[in-house]
Amino acid sequence: MDGDGRELRSIMAGGAPAFVRRDHHFFSYFHLVVRFFSFLSFLFNELRSRLAYVLREGRAGVFTLALFFLSIFFGMSQGASGEVILSYFSSSLRHVVGQTGFTVRSITVSGLTSLDISKVLDAANIDRSYPLFFLNIDSVRERLARLPLVRSVSIRKYYPDGLSVGVVEASPDALWQIDGSVFFASHDGQLIAPLQETVDKNLPLVVGPDAGPHIAEFLAMMAATPDLPKYVKAGVWVGGRRWTLSLTNGVDVFLPEGDVSPALNRLVKLIRDRNILDSAIVSVDLRQSDRVILGLSDNAFLERLESQKLKNKARGVHA
């Protein structure tokens, strides 16, 4: 229970703890009515004091009052927020509203999977001393929509002092590296947001400025060969026509243009039967359907050359 006799329930919001209140029905509405009439009383006194000032100042005061209400009417007709309207009143209004309990005191955030809740609250930039009914939720929604990975935002006010923020995150299908910068991307090659250190990066990586439109092709290629993805570090789109696979051990695999299924099956067989990932091979060329060309490291090539000389010498063959 809190100090006002309300029950607090602990919940999880995006992996982070949050608290929401469950007010007792009768007392919550009673407090709401009391606070509302307190605010109306202050607003009435504020307008009455301004009217008294106008009457003392004569015609100039009448003109000022007329301009005041005309400005409010124009602002409302143009869809102005409560923040604009509130600016016409004295600064003491915020303090009085705060005393009546209509300011933002609790914020709940839901829908987070990758984003950090603290960053969401920082981006929302909600002044908790501001009256809830004058809070411009469109402005808050626009600020949150600028966050990476945010697809949409919904905001609801819960009087007298609660605010609920629902976030729908975009679901990236791959990482796309362009000129050294890495972005989250969709399967159809649309950039979603720059890569963040705080976000899970366990996604397929494609490399190349023109690789985006071919992400779906790369994902289908990996899905069709279930034993292969665990060995693949990245897919590099080369020359606008074919893929080169960069394996986790540094080996480059050159795939042919067009249908790559036979080449991928040969690659899996080489990994399984010939254990090429544990040898001194630096490249595997599968671009020709009738042969496999293996590239050796410099040290492995010299060792092989020396070994061949010894074999030739033993056979009496002069190299």
Q: Map tokens 């000129």 to a residue.
A: 179
Burial of 46 (0-12, 13-18, 19+ CB in 10 A): middle
Count of alpha carbons within 13 Å of 78, Cβ hemisphere only? 9
pLDDT digits (tens, 9 = 90+) for 193-230: 888 765 556 899 999 999 999 999 999 999 999 889 99
Q: Kindly state the tokens that stand for 168.
A: 């729908």
Give, in degrees to the nearest 5, the angle at Cα 32 between 25 and 110. 70
Q: List the structure tokens of 3.
A: 């100090």
Q: What is the pLDDT of residues 274-295, one digit of tens each?
A: 877 777 788 899 999 888 988 8
Evaluate if residue 165 carries a pLDDT over 90.
yes
In angstroms, what CA-CA distances link 303 with 161, 270, 280, 319?
A: 77, 22, 10, 15
Q: pLDDT-based confidence at 116, cuts 50/70/90? A: confident
Q: What is the mean pLDDT of residues 232-256?
A: 94
Stretch 173-178: mean pLDDT, rounded?
94
Residues near 105 by beta carbon (within 8 Å), at least 6 away in sequence: 128, 161, 162
49-66 mean pLDDT: 55
Domain with CATH 3.10.20.310 in the chain: 7-169
Domain 7-169: which topology?
A: Ubiquitin-like (UB roll) (3.10.20)
Q: Which two tokens stand for residue 181?
A: 């910068």
Note the pLDDT of residue 8.
42
Give the residue, 268 or 315, on which the prediction is more confident. 268
Q: What residue ranges of the chain are covered by domains with CATH 3.40.50.11690?
A: 174-302
Angle, CA of 198, 203 and 206, to the nearest 5°: 115
User: How do residues 117-154 score in pLDDT, each as one tens digit?
Assistant: 998 999 999 887 777 877 888 999 999 998 878 889 99
Average pLDDT over residues 61-90: 49
What does each C-alpha distance from 137 to 83, 109, 169, 314 come to in angstroms? 10, 14, 19, 86
Phi, psi of 300 (to 5 degrees): -65, -35
Q: In this predicted structure, what is the pLDDT of residue 15?
A: 47
Residue 186 has pLDDT above 70, yes or no: yes
Q: H or E stretch including 294?
A: strand 293-296
For residue 253, pLDDT over 90 is answered with yes
| Mean pLDDT to the nearest integer, 7-35 | 52
Between 50-64, 94-108, 237-251, 290-304, the lowest mean confidence (pLDDT) is in: 50-64
Q: Please name every residue paired with 176 in a beta bridge, in sequence order, or none if there are none.
A: 183, 206
The class (CATH top level) of 174-302 is alpha beta
Q: What is the pLDDT of residue 43?
A: 66
| pLDDT: which is higher, 133 or 257 | 257
